[in-house]
């Protein structure tokens, strides 16, 4: 997952000067893009937040959790 490249592409959009990732449950904000990675089969066993590039292990693969509702979780202001 190339978080650095995704962040640069977002900043490259005309009119975007800065952006942040905010948790809606706590209100905590982090400058730039952050992604939370966890195993939905064991949600309390592991979980990590990444703000820089991360390489998954050979048996891991990325997918977007709750894809159908993803757009409702993005706010552009």
Model confidence pLDDT, tens digit, residues 8-56: 999 999 999 999 998 877 888 889 998 888 888 887 787 888 888 988 8
* Cα–Cα dist 55/77, whole Å: 31
* Cα–Cα dist 20/33, whole Å: 6
φ/ψ (deg, to 5) at 30: -130, 130
What domain range includes position 11?
A: 3-73
Residue 76: predicted pLDDT: 76
The pTM for the full model equals: 0.69
Residue 55: predicted pLDDT: 86
Output DSSP code: residue 68.
Answer: G
* Cα–Cα dist 47/43, whole Å: 7
Residue 23: predicted pLDDT: 81
Q: How far is CA 50 from the centre of its chain?
A: 7
The total domain count for the chain is 1
């Amino acid at each position: 997952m190339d978080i650095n490249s995704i962040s640069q592409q977002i900043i490259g959009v005309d009119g975007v000067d800065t952006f942040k990732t905010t948790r809606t449950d706590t209100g905590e904000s982090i400058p730039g893009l952050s992604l939370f990675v966890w195993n939905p089969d064991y949600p309390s066993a592991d979980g990590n937040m990444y703000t820089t590039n991360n390489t998954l292990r050979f048996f891991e693969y990325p997918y977007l959790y709750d894809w159908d509702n993803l757009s409702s979780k993005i706010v552009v202001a």
